[in-house]
Amino acid sequence: MPTVPDNAHLDARIDWRSADDAAHWIQTAVDTIAGALARDLDAQPRALLLLSGGGTPGPVHRALADVALDWSRVDVSLVDDRWVPADDAASNARLARETLLHGRAAAARFLPLVPAIDPAEDTADAMTAAVDAANARWREQGLVPAIAVLGMGDDGHTASLFPGARGVDHALATPLPYAAIDAHGCPGAGTLPLRISLTAAGLAAARQRLLLLRGDTKREVLARAAAPGPVAQYPVRAAFADTLDVLWCA
């Protein structure tokens, strides 16, 4: 079992777990997420699950879909999404629908962040309206997320909080759960710079945060981020609220 990296001055608030192999990593992630949902479903009528996008979480979502939960009482929403149509290959809503929302989990209620995009509408206005709607829904739904499942880029971003992106300073300071991000010029955002993202407050609001990491590069980036420093330098630091569960595998 790989041990916690000896070069990692991990903050006491990081609960680091590493898995021997991908199968163990997936099952541990599924058990953690399902446990968080079951805990909330035991205590209240509904539970809220927040998912990220990217290339890491798909296998976990697929395995999670088979878990025997009362999925009809689960709301699934997103940590962040790209400002693309819901059927776009880059859409995190599409990723959630394709990897989680089938089988047993098809009974869950999905709450997207990005509405149908009207090309005739001013993009900035449309994104502002979508963020306002996501924040209003969060307030009206009154649900504390049972768990936010996070990823991290090699630049130390999580959600869509890219270092140096327009809107990140606001997202790290606002008490609202979602914000619009313009990551033009941020390599980590690739060709998808316009985002709606959980803010630092949104990340902190979740009862639990699970950061799923694969590979040595991400382990090293997290170790650097775990050292003291400004959140804006490594925005994954915004997820260090209270406790951050990290699950890593080579």
Ligand X SMILES: O=C(O)[C@H](O)[C@@H](O)[C@H](O)[C@H](O)COP(=O)(O)O
Which residues contact ligand X by CB under 6 A? 52-56, 79-80, 92, 151-153, 158-160
Nearer to ligand X among residue 39 and residue 220 (C-beta) = 220
Contacts of 118 (CB under 8 A, 6+ apart): 126
Q: What is the per-residue DSSP string for 222-237?
A: HHHHTSS--TTTSGGG
Residue 75, strand partner residues: 48, 109
Closer residue to ligand X in complex, CB, 47/78:
78
Least distance (Å) from ligand X to the CB of residue 11? Answer: 20
**Least CB distance to ligand X at residue 83 (A):** 11
Q: How far is CA 103 from CA 41, 42, 203, 237, in A?
A: 19, 22, 28, 35
User: How far is residue 148's CA from residue 93's CA, in Å, rounded to a whole number?
Assistant: 15
Least distance between ligand X and beta carbon 98 (Å): 14
Q: Please, what is the minimum distance in Å from the beta carbon of residue 242 to ligand X?
A: 20
In terms of CB distance, is 145 or 151 closer to ligand X? 151
- What stretch of H or E contains 133? helix 123-141
| Residue nearer to ligand X on the CB measure, 105 or 148 | 148
Residue 74 or 183: the one with the smaller Cβ distance to ligand X is: 183
Output the CA torsion 59→31→114→93 (10° steps): 30
* Least distance to ligand X, CB of residue 94, Å: 11
DSSP 239: G
